[in-house]
Amino acid sequence: MKEFVTNLWHEINIEIQTTESSIPDTLSRIKQIINCLDQSLRRLKAFTCSYEFQSAEEEIRFFKELKPRIYGQLLFYVRLYELEEHRPLSDQASESLYLSNEMKRLGQNFTHTLDFYRYYRSGDTSLDGKYFIRKEYDWAQDKDPLSFEKDPSFSTSFDYEVANIIANDLIKVHLASELKRVSNEVCNNMIALLSEKQLQWTDSKVSLVELVYGIYSSGSINHGAVELKDLAICFETLFNVRVGDFYRAFLEIRERKRSRTQYIDQMKDTLIRRMDDLER
């Protein structure tokens, strides 16, 4: 059994590497890999159903380690396909938010099997006979969405959960890598912009403070989940200006006798005049 699975795993890795380097389109590439893994799992099933395990330990190892390794890869690529299919490519901000939300969702996948998740992660083996022996199969504990189609000669109650953990670990690594890539692209674009355009804030520093506080108060960035100091640093960096004590400047704005939003009011009036001019 071990030799068969080792050879099969080797063939899978070669096929994945070949596909990764030969098919440029992301969804087509993932679909091809899914087909490869699906066929490999079918081959593993055919072999297993005709194989007689030599001991309970061998059966446990197969359903706890060998089968989930391949099944976990299949689940990973199926989820990767869904991830890429719905991934927004309109702008980097939307892409980054989408990837971040997907990362947060990963933590919710094991709430219904938290006891098993802790058992598996801890390296405990005391319940392996219950979880990974076919004759102990309990459909009520099997959380595989396709459990109703399962062949009892190729299934245990929790081999899917191990594959699920493996798949989510792989997705987490992928998401972290993609988030880092997108973040680096944003930083590089910003650096290039600042270096090429040399944007300079040419109004008063107090006006900039008023603008930053207005954006912060409206919750327009990250649905309001942003620190004022971070927003201030972004504007200072973008417009090559050093404001200093934002809060002290804000106190000056609050104490104005006339309009406390002079700059924003002026911006509004200027914008309206521009729109009126364009309509003439």
Q: What is the pLDDT of residues 84-119, one digit of tens each?
A: 999 887 777 788 888 888 888 886 666 567 888 899
* Residue 19: per-residue pLDDT: 95
Query: Lowest mean pLDDT: which of 2-11, 43-52, 93-102, 122-131?
Result: 93-102
Close Cβ partners of 167 (under 8 Å, ≥ 6 residues apart): 72, 73, 75, 76, 79
User: How far, in Å, are 134, 145, 191, 275, 277 from residue 270 at the CA level?
Assistant: 75, 59, 30, 9, 11
Pick the more confident residue, 36 or 184: 36
Closest by CA position to 146, among listed 71, 60, 82: 71
d(CA 181, CA 95): 11
**What does pTM read for this prediction?**
0.68
* Residue 279: per-residue pLDDT: 82
Is 70 exceeded by the pLDDT of residue 227?
Answer: yes
Categorize the per-residue pLDDT at 195 as very low, low, confident or very high, splitting at 50, 70 and 90: low
* Residue 2: per-residue pLDDT: 82
Close Cβ partners of 7 (under 8 Å, ≥ 6 residues apart): none
Handedness of CA 27, 28, 34, 38 (dihedral sign): positive
d(CA 212, CA 215): 5
* Residue 268: per-residue pLDDT: 92
Q: What is the pLDDT of residues 236-269, one digit of tens each?
A: 888 888 888 888 888 888 888 888 899 999 999 9
In the chain, % of residues over pLDDT 90? 51
Categorize the per-residue pLDDT at 179 as very low, low, confident or very high, splitting at 50, 70 and 90: confident
Torsion of CA 202, 206, 212, 217, to 10 degrees: -150
Handedness of CA 157, 158, 159, 164 (dihedral sign): positive
Mean pLDDT for all residues in the chain: 87
Report the range out of 21-35, 100-114, 177-191 with the highest average pLDDT: 21-35
Q: What is the pLDDT of residues 146-170, one digit of tens each?
A: 655 678 889 898 999 999 999 999 9
d(CA 277, CA 42): 70
Are 136 and 142 spatial neighbours (Cβ–Cβ below 8 Å)?
Answer: no
* Residue 240: per-residue pLDDT: 82
* Residue 211: per-residue pLDDT: 93
* Residue 190: per-residue pLDDT: 66
Closest by CA position to 83, among listed 135, 128, 131, 27: 27
Pick the more confident residue, 108 or 22: 22
